[in-house]
Structure 1
Amino acid sequence: MEHSSATDYFQKRLHEQWLLGIDGWTVRTQARLHQLSSLTQAGTHPRILLNLQDPLEFLAAFMAACITESPVFLGNPSWSRADWEQVIALSQPHIIWDAAGQTFTENPFTPHQKSWIMVPTGGSSGKIRFAIHTWSTLMASVQGCQQYFESPTINSCCTLPLHHVSGLMQFLRSFTTGGRLAILPFDDFLNGVSSNPALAAFLDSQSQEVQAFFLSLVPTQLQRLLQRPERLPWLARFQTVLLGGAPAWPELLNAARKHKVRLAPTYGMTETASQVATLKPDDFLAGHYSSGQVLPHAQVLAQDDDQRFLPRNQTGRIAIQSQSLCLGYYPERFANPETFVTDDLGYLCDEQPSACRQEQDAHISGKTPHLHVVGRDSRKIISGGENIFPEEVEAAIRATGLVKDVYVTGAPDSEWGEVAIALYVPITPSRSVLEIQAALQNTLSKLKYPKRWIAVEQIPRNAQGKVSQMQVAMEVRSHLSNGG
């Protein structure tokens, strides 16, 4: 599939005011291009590492790198010093752009990395990796979204970090389709206030402008919004509210449906440049539960342990073939670039589970099935021979209404082999584990009950709502070492 270049899109939008409340983007992009001119005119493509919090500066620097086909690494300004040392050692940048200005470093050039766009992933496990994307893989994702939602122009409201795939793709969808983009800190979005007049008008509870906008949220953000009833009529006006980044629990989805929020739960990841399956808002409001249908630029299949494709309604590892699939993890390319086999377990099915046709393979069916994600294979706990999926246990605990948040993990045990441990935030300090267990009696098999419970003030999550595995492991070790 042919895509216009970054230069072509920049020229098309050169004189347009498409960023709500932000002026000077064209000037800043041209200034960044000028900084690169001496190197790019000599035929070299320097590796650029971005450490920019300001949206204007980030977008200008990112586009300058794309226009000059320079390899660019998207850095997270919130990383620790140790994280940055790891990233610099891995990326070996020639140029670092940060709030202090521009830093040049002496590192060898690598010709085959021209046009690579490195998007960070995997930080929650402690090891930061970069998925290698290109302008073409990112544009394939944009076009798949356009076609699926039948929306030639995509206006986006972004409250997520631009260095993350969830924020980056909102920018690219709007920029390359002739749409507008509103970039807001989530607290401003939540409270409906901004010191910027254009954004303040957008956030006003009476504003009708949001009817033409896509919004992207993670579950923890949606949960906070649902606790603000005065904001819900305004939230329900958005054309589409994409929900991803982490699994959403049934009670959260039910609450959003009750308030007629036009939610579109998605399935995707950094490696696929965001969504490859999405449930359309009308289907969500009609009561459907799934990750939706597969977008036009992708194919999603379930595989068994021997990498054979499974028929519908049979659970296996989710495998993805997509034009938006990354090339590999920097600096290595994938050995098999055609198919990305995830750690997620799921199955493909018609809209209603009773309509599933097990005898018909999803990859040859004329009807696009819905994707249902069961959990992650790596999170599966085998306790006394029983398979326990933490996602199921978490959903049951949340449904009691006795916790604000919960995360279930596994730990070795001499008697059971492995046991489930629940980190939970009680709805009030007086709530006991016995009360929660009593409330689970009719919804969860006792074999799946967590054997240990750890009350915490909050579950360690990042800005996308994903849990920090390192911090969870430290909390569990501390609890067990103290005789818990």
Structure 2
Amino acid sequence: MFPNPCCHSVTWRERLSGLEEQLRPLAEKTAPLLLADSDPLQVWAAVLTCQKLGIPLFLGNPKWGEREWAQAVAGLGGGWRWRQGRLEGDPSPLNPSLREAVPGSHWPLIGIPTGGSGGQVKWAIHSWRTLSASAKAHQQHFGVDCVHSYCLLPLHHISGLMQAVRSWLTGGQWIVWDWKRQQQAEAWDPPLPGSFLSLVPTQLQRLLLNPQPGVVESLRQFRAILVGGGPTWPSLRQQARQLHLPLALTYGMTETASQVCTLLPEAFWQGNDSLGRPLPHATLQIRSEQGDPLPSDAVGFIHIRAKSLALGHYPQAALRVSGAEHFGLRQWHQQGFTPGDWGYLDSQGHLFWLGRADDLILTGGEKVMAAEVEGEVRASGWVDDVWVLGLPDAEWGQQVVAVVVPKTGLPAIPQELEMHLKQHLSRQLSPFKHPKRWLWCTGIPRNLQGKVNRQQLRQWAAQQLGISPQVS
């Protein structure tokens, strides 16, 4: 069922055989396995073994703290737990209504964590069928036979997991790299012909802060460097073009099993700043707040239909009602999925992402997209990192606030830096979009995929300004 050249490795065969022996008692009980392990080969072996034995698998972040781990265990309500090589737990079955709601063709399910940064732990419910649809669409979109993947991302994250799935299904090589070691290296080994690398924007930025010729030369040899997990900014794209890096800007999320839109490197080199056209397995539409389709170039909510769509979320939805509807089986697979992103499609079908709807700041009756302001602050060249948010304001409703990490090596004089940033923004954005308050810090809390811990940072910013963090 899973053809893979790695099966010729005695070590790999022994690993799979040993894990199957350990997990076999879990089979046929529909008892879930919650797995959190920092060894990517162990995680991948568990994915394959659970598929073979019919065990529903929920992936976890090995860096979860005790509070997050307790949330995950409570959310599952029972089952087995594998944490850093140790198996424990009980054979309590999974929520029976979920088992009844999931079609046989999607069993056993694979739960991938999403939305756990600063909030409640939950999973997007996928299956080998949805992951395969995404992998095959990637293969078709780029017109390749074998997908060789160089993996710098953890497998509990969809971008890391899909790299393994793509290589496995196409008979390609899956090479696991250590991010810290690669980031510090002066040169990389040349990649296999036609290989893919996945990065988040902050990883790409760190590689290009002081670009090593040996690293840049290897980056140029990839078929594509997939960049997703957040928006890129003008200066980053400009530098990548100057270095002739084969960037493939992507749009996707855990719920879609990674990319549903991807810009080909050839179009990126020609100056296209969109996120590309939909992959073969997906269709995108822009809709109004009322759900009506909008014409080309009209801004609205991005609506997705795709064969790779998750079946729903767990356990939050499962706690509300019973039946298939609460897992989104009918809503997502018959009506599509609207993740809450703003954007538009041009006349040629290219997607332009403008930001999260919940990042929309309403100030003095005007609408400000935080991502647009962040992009221009980055483009100034004066900052290493920035996050823009809206906080309550008695006069304006909300005020635009920028949390900034000054660029390394610049004089640490906040007043001077603020003056330069204001001068830059005055040439690029309308005055109502300018931050009214500037906060300075040494680092913005982000996970490995570059996503901000919004709750933590919002509370910190509100505390610094002496106001409530709640949006009024």
Q: Return the TM-score normalized by structure 2.
A: 0.90
Partner of 1:223: 205
Partner of 2:165: 172
Greater Cα shift, 429-438 or 393-402: 429-438
Partner of 2:282: 298
The answer to whether the aligner puts 1:99 opposite 2:88 as a matched pair is no
* Conserved 8 A contact 1:47-1:92: no
The answer to whether the aligner puts 1:415 opposite 2:410 as a matched pair is no
Candidates 355, 369, 373, aligned match of 1:389: 369
Relative to structure 1, the CA distance from residue 210 to residue 257 in structure 2 (aligned partners, 3 Å threshold; closer, same or farther) is farther
- Equivalent positions of 1:181-200 (< 5 A) are 181-192=174-185
The answer to whether the aligner puts 1:123 opposite 2:149 as a matched pair is no
Relative to structure 1, the CA distance from residue 156 to residue 479 in structure 2 (aligned partners, 3 Å threshold; closer, same or farther) is same
Partner of 1:270: 254
Candidates 356, 364, 369, aligned match of 1:376: 356
Letter in 1 for 2:339: T
- Equivalent positions of 1:224-243 (< 5 A) are 224-230=206-212, 231-243=215-227
Measured in 1, the distance between the counterparts of 2:270 and 2:113 equals 36
Greater Cα shift, 268-277 or 282-291: 282-291
1:211 Cα deviation (Å)?
Answer: 3.5
Relative to structure 1, the CA distance from residue 252 to residue 457 in structure 2 (aligned partners, 3 Å threshold; closer, same or farther) is same
Measured in 2, the distance between the counterparts of 1:265 and 1:443 equals 23
Measured in 2, the distance between the counterparts of 1:80 and 1:56 equals 22
* Conserved 8 A contact 2:32-2:93: no
* Conserved 8 A contact 1:210-1:239: no
Percent of paired sites with the same residue: 38
Candidates 154, 161, 167, aligned match of 1:161: 154
* Conserved 8 A contact 1:26-1:60: no
1:24 Cα deviation (Å)?
Answer: 1.9
Measured in 2, the distance between the counterparts of 1:328 and 1:475 equals 32
* Conserved 8 A contact 1:49-1:93: no
Measured in 2, the distance between the counterparts of 1:174 and 1:27 equals 20
Measured in 2, the distance between the counterparts of 1:346 and 1:100 equals 43
Letter in 2 for 1:214: F
Letter in 1 for 2:12: W
Partner of 2:322: none
Residue deviations 1:396-450 (CA, integer Å, cap 9, x gap) = 1112111111110001111111110000011231243122212222111111111
Relative to structure 1, the CA distance from residue 307 to residue 125 in structure 2 (aligned partners, 3 Å threshold; closer, same or farther) is farther
- Equivalent positions of 1:138-149 (< 5 A) are 138-149=131-142
- Equivalent positions of 1:200-211 (< 5 A) are 205=188, 207-211=189-193
Measured in 2, the distance between the counterparts of 1:350 and 1:16 equals 49
Residue deviations 1:128-150 (CA, integer Å, cap 9, x gap) = 21000011001000011011111
Question: Which consecutive residues of structure 2, in runs of 5 or more, have no partner in the other structure?
Answer: 319-326
1:481 Cα deviation (Å)?
Answer: 1.9
Question: SS at the partner of 2:58?
Answer: strand
Letter in 2 for 1:186: W
Relative to structure 1, the CA distance from residue 115 to residue 106 in structure 2 (aligned partners, 3 Å threshold; closer, same or farther) is closer
Measured in 2, the distance between the counterparts of 1:477 and 1:417 equals 15
Residue deviations 1:247-270 (CA, integer Å, cap 9, x gap) = 111111111111011000000000
Measured in 2, the distance between the counterparts of 1:394 and 1:151 equals 36
Measured in 1, the distance between the counterparts of 2:179 and 2:39 equals 14
Runs of 4+ off more than 4 Å = none
1:106 Cα deviation (Å)?
Answer: 4.5
Measured in 1, the distance between the counterparts of 2:116 and 2:84 equals 22
1:90 Cα deviation (Å)?
Answer: 0.4
- Equivalent positions of 1:30-69 (< 5 A) are 30-40=17-27, 43-69=28-54
- Equivalent positions of 1:440-459 (< 5 A) are 440-459=425-444
- Equivalent positions of 1:321-470 (< 5 A) are 321-331=305-315, 332=318, 333-334=327-328, 336-338=331-333, 339-351=336-348, 369-427=349-407, 428=410, 429-430=412-413, 431-470=416-455
Relative to structure 1, the CA distance from residue 258 to residue 264 in structure 2 (aligned partners, 3 Å threshold; closer, same or farther) is same
* Conserved 8 A contact 2:26-2:91: no
Letter in 2 for 1:103: E
Letter in 1 for 2:171: G
1:482 Cα deviation (Å)?
Answer: 8.5
* Conserved 8 A contact 2:80-2:90: yes
Greater Cα shift, 415-424 or 467-476: 467-476
Candidates 182, 196, 201, aligned match of 1:214: 196
* Conserved 8 A contact 2:81-2:88: yes
1:13 Cα deviation (Å)?
Answer: 4.1
1:39 Cα deviation (Å)?
Answer: 4.2
Letter in 1 for 2:305: Q
Q: CA RMSD in A?
A: 1.9
Partner of 1:132: 125
Relative to structure 1, the CA distance from residue 104 to residue 142 in structure 2 (aligned partners, 3 Å threshold; closer, same or farther) is same
Residue deviations 1:6-59 (CA, integer Å, cap 9, x gap) = xx115x546335xxxxx722211121211232443xx32321010111122111
Relative to structure 1, the CA distance from residue 45 to residue 437 in structure 2 (aligned partners, 3 Å threshold; closer, same or farther) is same
Greater Cα shift, 424-433 or 402-411: 424-433
Relative to structure 1, the CA distance from residue 15 to residue 389 in structure 2 (aligned partners, 3 Å threshold; closer, same or farther) is closer
Greater Cα shift, 378-387 or 86-95: 86-95
Question: SS at the partner of 1:79?
Answer: coil
1:472 Cα deviation (Å)?
Answer: 1.2
Measured in 2, the distance between the counterparts of 1:389 and 1:455 equals 21
1:337 Cα deviation (Å)?
Answer: 2.2
* Conserved 8 A contact 1:410-1:421: yes
* Conserved 8 A contact 1:317-1:341: yes
Question: Which consecutive residues of structure 1, in runs of 5 or more, have no partner in the other structure?
Answer: 1-7, 18-22, 194-203, 352-368
Measured in 2, the distance between the counterparts of 1:464 and 1:14 equals 27
Measured in 1, the distance between the counterparts of 2:260 and 2:7 equals 33
* Conserved 8 A contact 1:94-1:107: yes
* Conserved 8 A contact 2:283-2:306: yes
Residue deviations 1:285-315 (CA, integer Å, cap 9, x gap) = 1111100010000011101111111111111
Relative to structure 1, the CA distance from residue 209 to residue 108 in structure 2 (aligned partners, 3 Å threshold; closer, same or farther) is closer
Measured in 1, the distance between the counterparts of 2:230 and 2:435 equals 21
Question: SS at the partner of 1:221?
Answer: helix
Residue deviations 1:368-421 (CA, integer Å, cap 9, x gap) = x11111111111111111111111111111121111111100011111111100
